[in-house]
Structures are given as structure tokens and as C-alpha cells.
Amino acid sequence: MARIVILGAGISGHTAALHLKRKLKKRHEIVVVSPNSNWNWIPSNIWVGVGKMSKNQVIFPLRPVYRRKGIEFRQAKATALWPEGDENNPQGAVDIVYTDPERLGDEERLTYDFLINATGPKLNFAATPGLGPDGNSLSVCTAQHAEETSKEFDKIVEALRRGERKTLVVGVGHGTCTCEGAAFEYTFNIEHELRERNVRDLADVIYLTNEYDLGDFGVGGMQFAQRGFVTSSKMWTESLFRERNVRAILRAHVERVDPGVIHYEQLDGTKESLPFDFAMLLPPFRGADLKAFKRSGEDITSELFAPNGFLRVDADYTAKPYDSWTAEDWPKTYQSRSYENLFGIGIAFAPPHPISQPRTSPNGTLIAPAPPRTGMPSGLMGRIVAQSIADRLLSNGDAPLHKASMANMGAACIASAGASLKNGSAAAMTMYPIVPDFERFPDSGRDLKETTGEIGLGAHWTKLLLHYLFIYKAKARPLWFLIPE
């Protein structure tokens, strides 16, 4: 019996665990290691952050699901990999430290036959002094953060009702952040909510971003063919900002957040200070900062992981100028080049290069979005890596690996712009491929027919439906596997 250990029970790791169990049944052991006892449908944290959903509507306990499915669960966090084993045992192993209150602080070296690193992002608030809930700004990255942010938002609404003028800033808290789509969503959800609560007039809503243009979203923007015309995500997004009277500050790197003041630098090198009453700024992401060792104890962390802490997989990481990067550089199987029983999926794998053009200010500050890895590709990677491992275990070990390159994968993304069954709206975007391929699509790198953008009430209903569908699927209810990633 082989043991497959999955680090992380988020969108990619949990998907991988459920598919592995479905394929392997009781023949092999599946162990999930994750520090949180709950699963979180992170996209709906945006609605928790404006009080439209409660924290309990976006999370559920993992243990009962894993018990029902026969998956082992360790509430713990991984700290180090021993891909060749240690001096006592040549089998690959991972060090874990329990966060489970009943075993808090206990350490264990867990051996494995296959290891999937699905540890997602470390929320790197420390990259910007004063950033984050322990500093001077708010976050919606976890359900807990979002609940706290909603309470602060209520206080702002109360002050607006008393006739006070307030400035609300939403955006990203560092020049190299990703997840601009989530910041965009939260901006338009608070804007919508202020209107719903009849206090919009005295509120200044500002979107603060590292994007070069609106509509970049870390994917270099999109072009669409609509009714015979080619339009762009830039034009489309700009018109939404104008229509909703939201001011955008572009090309910004937040240097520091003091109480009530954001200090930022822009791509032209100028430095500004922005006073605020409410600021929700996303942090930059890095990998979970796992260490890695050879049997001898030699530290091989920098061989296995990129400097940003993400796991190197089957991508081309050769340093090249931006114009020389190609779609082919992107990973296909998510298998480590160093160890064939080690995989990295979701946000945990190291992208080979940015998708949006990297740009540097005259002061040498990099101000450019990092590539996003949204829910759909993360889930898809979870599924194909589960299939690859299952095929290898069920064959004589040499079954070909399944492939899902982001340069050959489409994505649908629905960005909420206000939650209400009657007056809500959302921006529905599809793109193919996620990573532009200028050899196949010389004009914009993407298929203009498969890349679309639409905003309206229907998209809000779809987003709401997806909330319930994905939670149903994550709970592994009957026929869960028919719901696509």
C-alpha cells in the first residue's frame, strides 16, 4: 500500500485528495496535512467583507468529510521535506508540526510514496511595514479577516450616516502583488453596498493598484471580439470606474502603511501619501517557506524552491528578457524536476515568469503584478496530478503523466461588482489561454473568440450559484465529481 501525502487542504489540495480517493479507493492511503480545521471558499470572502454573508457560510469543518471518505487528516503544518529520506530511512518524508489543539506543537516525520505540495500562498504582510490586520490596514484573504473587515466597514457606514466624509481605499499593498481581481471585486462590492445603504454621497472610493492599466489583472489585460469590434479589458474596466465614480491610482507600490496614511511610490518615481479612513489592501504572496534536505542533512531548499518560496516544477526557469519568454516555458505536469514523486500545484508552484510586463521605477522598484493562479486552474491542477499519481499506482509505475499547462488552459472568472439578487452585478470574463501564446495567436496572444467580457446581473447569479456548487463539491456530496473544477 502506497501513501500519498497532500500538504494543504485548499482549492487545489482538497480537489487532489478527493479525486485520489475516488480513483484509489482503499488500495492506497491518502493523508492530508493542513493547519486549519476548516475549508474556506475564499472567493466568497469578498461578500463576508461587506456583511452580505457570514463567516460560517464560507467555511465548513474538514474532519467529517475526510472521515466519511476514508482520508486521513492531520491538522498540522509542514515545515521541511526530506525527498530522499533521512539517515534512518531512505523513504521520502515530510516534517510536520501539529496545530491541532489536542496535539499542539507535537512534531512528526511522515513518510510518503508521493507528495503533493498544495500549500497555497503565505500572506506576506511583512513585506510592507504597517500592512495588514496586525498593522494599519484590513484584509479579506481569510474568512476571519473578512469578518473583521466587515465590522470596520459598518463603522464607516455609521460615520457616513452622521454626515462625515470618508475615504475608502481598496487595492494591493505592494508593487509585486497578485490577485488584483479580488481587489477589484472588493472595491465594487463596497461601492455597491454604500449605495444600497444610501451613504454613497459622502464616500470617496479609491482603487490603488500596481497594474500599469486598468483591466490588466496580472494577465497583461485581454482583448475581446464583440459584435464585430475588438475591444479591451482596459476600455471595459475604465468605463466601469467612470460609471461608478471610483478613482483609480495605477502603477503604485505601497512602501508603508501608517495609521490613516498610505505611502506609495509610482512607476515614474514620484512618492505620494494618501490619507484614508478605511483601507483593505491585499498582501503579496510567497511560498509556505518549506525547507528541504538531502539524506545527509545538506540543505537543498534553494534547489527545490524558487527564491519566493514556491516549488520549482517542470517549467523553464532560465532567466531571459521578457520578450523571449514563451508559452512553452510554463509547466505541464507540475512534477518536480529533481524528484519524480514530488508535485507542486495551485499557488504553490513557481511560475517561470510574469505574464504582465515587468516594469521598474527610476528608483529601481519593481512595480508589476505577479501571475495569478485562480481557483479554476488550481482545481484543475489538483485533478490532473491526482490522475497522474493514480495511473502510476494502478499501472506498473510508468503511466504517462496528465498535462494541464496554463498556456493551453482556458479560465472563466466572475468578478463580483455588487451582491444583490435584483440590483447586483458581476463581470464575467473568459480567456483562452491564460498565459498568452503569441505563436498561435499573434495579435494578442489569445483566441479572440474564446476571450470574452460581459457585465450584468446574470453574472452575479452565476457567481452565487458557483458559491453553492463549489461548497457542495468540496463537501463531497453525491456526484460531486460531475461538477467541473
Ligand X SMILES: Cc1cc2nc3c(=O)[nH]c(=O)nc-3n(C[C@H](O)[C@H](O)[C@H](O)COP(=O)(O)OP(=O)(O)OC[C@H]3O[C@@H](n4cnc5c(N)ncnc54)[C@H](O)[C@@H]3O)c2cc1C
**Which of the stretches 42-50, 240-248, 396-404, 446-454 binds ligand X when contact is defined by CB under 6 A?**
42-50
Which triple of cell numbers denotes residue 456?
450584468
Is 43 a residue that touches ligand X (CB under 6 A)?
Answer: yes
Is 8 a residue that touches ligand X (CB under 6 A)?
Answer: yes
Backbone angles phi, psi at 462, to 5 degrees: -60, -45
Closest to 207 (Cα-Cα) out of 244, 236, 160: 244
Residue 411 C-beta: closest distance to ligand X, Å: 8
Q: Which residue is nearest to ligand X (CB)?
A: 10
CA distances from 160 to 98, 192, 227 (A): 45, 15, 42
SS3 call for 455? strand
Residue 63's region, left for phi above 0, alpha for psi from -120 to 50, else beta, is: alpha
Binder of ligand X out of 80, 300, 376, 457 (CB under 6 A): 376
| CA–CA gap between residue 346 and residue 311 (Å, rounded) | 11
Is 178 a residue that touches ligand X (CB under 6 A)?
Answer: no
Is 279 a residue that touches ligand X (CB under 6 A)?
Answer: no
Residue 62 C-beta: closest distance to ligand X, Å: 9
Is 138 a residue that touches ligand X (CB under 6 A)?
Answer: no
Binder of ligand X out of 4, 10, 75, 95 (CB under 6 A): 10
Strands 223-226 and 411-416: unpaired
Is 141 a residue that touches ligand X (CB under 6 A)?
Answer: yes
71-110 footprint of ligand X as x/- string (CB under 6 A)? ------xx--------------------------------
Residue 330 C-beta: closest distance to ligand X, Å: 16
Binder of ligand X out of 17, 20, 42, 406 (CB under 6 A): 42
Q: Sign (positive/negative) of CA torsion 33, 36, 39, 44?
A: negative
| CA–CA gap between residue 362 and residue 267 (Å, rounded) | 7
Is 467 a residue that touches ligand X (CB under 6 A)?
Answer: no
**Which of the stretches 105-113, 244-252, 344-352, 453-461 binds ligand X when contact is defined by CB under 6 A?**
344-352
Residue 161 C-beta: closest distance to ligand X, Å: 27
Is 119 a residue that touches ligand X (CB under 6 A)?
Answer: yes
Strand partners of residue 11: none
Contact 46, 183 (CB under 8 A): no
Which triple of cell numbers denotes residue 471?
461548497
11-24 helix and 62-69 helix, angle to the nearest 10 degrees: 20
- The Cα diameter of the chain in Å comes to 72
**Cβ closest to ligand X, residue 179 vs residue 407:** 179
Is 287 a residue that touches ligand X (CB under 6 A)?
Answer: no
Binding to ligand X (CB under 6 A) within 189-228 occurs at none
297-316 footprint of ligand X as x/- string (CB under 6 A)? --------------------
Residue 147 C-beta: closest distance to ligand X, Å: 13
Binder of ligand X out of 373, 392, 446, 460 (CB under 6 A): 373
**Cβ closest to ligand X, residue 11 vs residue 350:** 11
Binder of ligand X out of 375, 418, 424, 445 (CB under 6 A): 375
Residue 1 C-beta: closest distance to ligand X, Å: 23
Residue 398 C-beta: closest distance to ligand X, Å: 28
Binder of ligand X out of 92, 132, 173, 346 (CB under 6 A): 346
Binder of ligand X out of 182, 342, 401, 426 (CB under 6 A): 182
| CA–CA gap between residue 433 and residue 405 (Å, rounded) | 9
Binder of ligand X out of 18, 30, 50, 118 (CB under 6 A): 118
**b/e for 334-372, b at 16 or more Cβ within 10 A?**
bbbeebebbbbbbbbbbbbbbbbeebebeeebbbbbbbb
Give yes or no for a cis peptide into 478 (omega within 30° of 0). no
- The helix/strand count (H/E) of the chain reads as 9, 24
Residues binding ligand X: what is the number (CB under 6 A)? 35
| Edge-first strand listing for the sheet containing 426-431 | 411-416, 426-431, 452-456
389-418 footprint of ligand X as x/- string (CB under 6 A)? ------------------------x-----
> Dihedral, CA atoms, 233, 235, 237, 241, nearest 10 degrees?
170
Binder of ligand X out of 45, 210, 388, 444 (CB under 6 A): 45
SS3 call for 252? strand
| CA–CA gap between residue 84 and residue 69 (Å, rounded) | 30
Is 35 a residue that touches ligand X (CB under 6 A)?
Answer: yes
Contact 70, 21 (CB under 8 A): yes
Binder of ligand X out of 33, 157, 205, 281 (CB under 6 A): 33
**Cβ closest to ligand X, residue 124 vs residue 361:** 124
Residue 440 C-beta: closest distance to ligand X, Å: 24
Give contact residues for ligand X (rule: CB under 6 A): 7-13, 33-36, 42-43, 45-46, 77-78, 118-121, 140-141, 179, 182, 288, 346-348, 373-376, 378, 413
